[in-house]
Chain A
């Protein structure tokens, strides 16, 4: 093969791999991105039921009801709007009423949500960032939490 041919083959294969990688990324981006909303945003946005979402806020006091077959329902609130969440399975250790929570799942009806995963916090000092932002937006956040050390 000539020098020019070799160069072309090399550039060609680089272009092919890059094109494949780029199309994979774009394709996956379209299908597997999940948006995060707080309860108020969710109410404003008018999202069609069936969309995959992440929601977050505080678990309302007294709202956790354990049903049969390990089903749990609870309300997530940003003290303006409320979302009812249904979840089946183990709740994370640090799941508490009055604490921040992030859930991923599907919107079943306006204001109702079926979660398939509830995110764990792994440190009692730690508030999920999305939840903190959501609460800040609603003006219910006092930045009184002191830095409690970082945990990897």
Chain B
């Protein structure tokens, strides 16, 4: 009964979302306040209905209701509780359901926190959110209904794809989806601005916290996905330039550009049209990401069912929202008053370069990801564009960005003094160059790009720290005063410094992968192998049973200078209800590096093993966490909080800092 209830709630949600789209938009065009006020309650009701519908589906999973097709295909009664809850989004239908849930939550939050906004903009923004919701709820109901029943119901479900049976499943998709869907808010704001024809610094203040939140979650989601792929797929890599990964990287790059361009808009009332375009592009790329993953047009390490009907439906949604918004942009952008042009050497000038490089990098990734599809559609030739392409385009665009970043951060608004900034940063720059040369000298004959990466990473960290230092310190100011000043700095300053330090940390981690060691060998019990300064000995292996799987495992003991530092137990698991085995890699963390082991087949008592030593590898993900922490710190800034309350009432001049 609850399943039908959930289904019904979803149908009602569709109706409410249509009302929430049409009525407020009608009000916006006729300046009718009563109609516009409908937007808010509609958003709350929509959130409630979608939440009920989602809860009903979750209940079906918890109770292992095998009369529901979606539960049969993705669940098993012996599955642990965590995977029953997260199993809901482990499949196409359920994950789209999660997508809609998060969208409805964002609409609800927007309706709650956006009260201080100008009425027309507020109504238009909520209406656009509602229209996105209606498109995706329609998609759920028509082409991928999670509530479909099966008669007669089987006794047992087919179980969850073993690769997904991992805590990563509980964390990665929700984080990523909050990021993807959070980008819809900036999109709705952009459309709202185009519809109402008004855009000013206050608009940027409203958008910024939402974009920041979305960006933080996207950052965490991508990092979590990368770490999951790293330990689950058993290949030892952390980024494959896989189309599905690129699909999440592109919106991230544009969202990064967007959070920087909104700062320019807020402070200098410039880059308006560009910011609107970025807002549209960020969400468009999120939609393209959804399309690429869900339509089956790509071959990737992620497998998806090829279902042309769904692909076409999502393509339709894509064409409607991306095409529609870009058309609206082309038609209405000239209505928005353009901001002034500014000096090249200034904070805003540096931020323009930041935007250019990020947009160019996103374009390169876009071409590399979609060119093969276009070529196949046009000529039938099949090509694959792999890591070498992306390394050759992405890295040369990102390293200069890392180099100019600390300069830009230290430049003043309006008119910067590059020479003065260079003098103040000279110590940090010198230290970074020393670090780079030292690394290069120590690893003579090793990779060349890696020391450069280390140099840029150190430079980013020191440069960002120096920025805080310079703001706090003055000539002849005692340390205690400087410390007080530093603590009194706005949170957004701390946030941006922290986020940039995070970038530096990640860059160092990525550069260090160049010194990783990989060994693929066959080993008999009792044999051992040296990996860097560790001795790894195969003690034995066997077969054991888990809650819903059988595992063939090998046991390695790791010694460092004759001292046992840990045990690695990689294995191969066969889950109940499935026939194919999955590899389970084992990790042993040593400082910030990791030993990584996975085993292949066992033949004649010999294990084929893959062993890696990955120095400093954890920095890659740690950096992403630091970035996100910086972003969250920025959201907490007072500026973002008072924006909603004050800005709407009196448009006032924003002082340049």
Interface residues, chain A, CB within 8 Å of chain B? 1, 3, 6-7, 9-10, 13-14, 17-18, 20-21, 24-25, 27-29, 31-37, 54, 66, 69-70, 88-91, 93-94, 102, 104, 119-126, 128-130, 132-133, 147-152
The complex places the Cα of A52 from the Cα of B581 at a distance, in Å, of 30
Closest chain A CB from B159 CB (angstroms): 11
Known contacts A126-B304, A129-B306; decide if A151 and B364 are in contact (CB<8 Å): no
Determine if B525 is an interface residue (Cβ-Cβ < 8 Å). Answer: no
Does A126 lie within 8 Å of B305, measured CB to CB? Answer: yes
Known contacts A24-B364, A25-B367, A147-B307; decide if A7 and B341 are in contact (CB<8 Å): yes
Closest chain A CB from B564 CB (angstroms): 27
Does A21 lie within 8 Å of B363, measured CB to CB? Answer: yes
Does B356 lie within 8 Å of A28, measured CB to CB? Answer: no
Does A123 lie within 8 Å of B357, measured CB to CB? Answer: no
Known contacts A91-B600, A93-B583; decide if A126 and B303 are in contact (CB<8 Å): yes
Does B386 lie within 8 Å of A32, measured CB to CB? Answer: yes
Known contacts A1-B343, A24-B392; decide if A17 and B305 are in contact (CB<8 Å): no
Q: In the complex, what residue of chain B is closest to A122 when comparing beta carbons?
A: B303
Does B353 lie within 8 Å of A13, measured CB to CB? Answer: yes
Q: Across the interface, which residues of B come within 8 angstroms of A147, CB to CB?
A: 305-307
Closest chain A CB from B358 CB (angstroms): 10
The complex places the Cα of A41 from the Cα of B506 at a distance, in Å, of 43
Closest chain A CB from B403 CB (angstroms): 14
Does A151 lie within 8 Å of B302, measured CB to CB? Answer: yes
Closest chain A CB from B214 CB (angstroms): 19
Determine if B578 is an interface residue (Cβ-Cβ < 8 Å). Answer: yes
Determine if B73 is an interface residue (Cβ-Cβ < 8 Å). Answer: yes
Chain B contacts with A in 295-318, Cβ cutoff 8 A: 296-299, 301-307
Query: Contact residue range for chain B?
Result: 35 or more
What 9 A-B pairs are tightest by C-beta distance, nearest first?
Answer: A150-B92, A32-B388, A126-B303, A36-B382, A21-B360, A28-B392, A123-B303, A32-B389, A90-B600
Known contacts A24-B396, A94-B580; decide if A123 and B343 are in contact (CB<8 Å): no
Does A122 lie within 8 Å of B344, measured CB to CB? Answer: no
Does A151 lie within 8 Å of B303, measured CB to CB? Answer: yes
The complex places the Cα of A47 from the Cα of B288 at a distance, in Å, of 35
The complex places the Cα of A73 from the Cα of B70 at a distance, in Å, of 40
Closest chain A CB from B166 CB (angstroms): 13
Does B384 lie within 8 Å of A149, measured CB to CB? Answer: no
Q: In the complex, what residue of chain B is closest to A7 when comparing beta carbons?
A: B341
Known contacts A3-B341, A31-B392; decide if A90 and B598 are in contact (CB<8 Å): yes
Does A151 lie within 8 Å of B393, measured CB to CB? Answer: no
Does A33 lie within 8 Å of B385, measured CB to CB? Answer: yes
Please encode chain B, from 340 to 366, with 1 for each CB lying within 8 Å of some chain A CB and 0 for all others: 011110000000110011001101100
Q: Across the interface, which residues of B come within 8 angstroms of A94, CB to CB?
A: 580
Other-chain contact of A122, B74, B301, B521, B608 (Cβ < 8 Å): B301
Q: Across the interface, which residues of B come within 8 angstroms of A130, CB to CB?
A: 299, 382
Does A151 lie within 8 Å of B163, measured CB to CB? Answer: yes
Known contacts A6-B342, A17-B357; decide if A121 and B382 are in contact (CB<8 Å): no
The complex places the Cα of A31 from the Cα of B391 at a distance, in Å, of 12
Please list 14 pairs of residues, one from A and one from B, whose beta carbons are closer than 8 Å in the complex, sorted by A's number. Answer: A6-B341, A6-B344, A13-B356, A17-B356, A20-B360, A28-B392, A32-B389, A34-B383, A54-B382, A70-B608, A122-B163, A123-B161, A149-B91, A152-B304
Does B393 lie within 8 Å of A28, measured CB to CB? Answer: yes
Q: Across the interface, which residues of B come within 8 angstroms of A148, CB to CB?
A: 73, 305
Determine if B654 is an interface residue (Cβ-Cβ < 8 Å). Answer: no
Does A120 lie within 8 Å of B364, measured CB to CB? Answer: no
Does A24 lie within 8 Å of B393, measured CB to CB? Answer: yes
* 16 further interface pairs, Cβ-Cβ under 8 Å (given A21-B363, A34-B386, A35-B384): A17-B357, A28-B368, A36-B382, A37-B382, A54-B382, A66-B603, A70-B600, A93-B234, A93-B580, A124-B580, A125-B303, A129-B299, A129-B306, A149-B74, A150-B92, A150-B294
Closest chain B CB from A32 CB (angstroms): 4
Closest chain B CB from A39 CB (angstroms): 14
